[in-house]
Amino acid sequence: MIETMVTALTSKLKIGYMVTSTLAIILALHLLLSDSNLPYFVALLFLGLGVLVVVAVWYAIVRPLSRDMD
């Protein structure tokens, strides 16, 4: 029972991280490419956040899972 809950929570976290990073990258690119009133550093902040989340997900979730499969 607990193992199933941990697996479900882990998969929900993975999906949440992927969605958050994708939205941050899309928003940053939209702010950079459109005529927005926000300064560039805000768009670059969103872009950096997206990249940071992708790297964190890779090292925390994807890489250990791929090691377990080897």
* Domain residue limits, the chain: 2-69
Mean pLDDT throughout 60-64?
A: 70
Summarised one tens digit per residue, pLDDT across range 22-51 is: 787 787 778 777 877 777 787 778 778 778
Mean pLDDT of 13-30: 76
pTM to 2 decimal places: 0.50
The per-residue pLDDT for 62 is 65
Task: Write 59-63 long-range contacts (CB < 8 A, 24+).
Answer: 61/10, 61/13, 61/14, 61/17
Of the listed ranges 10-14, 19-23, 58-62, the least confidently predicted one is: 10-14
Looking at residue 60, its pLDDT comes to 76
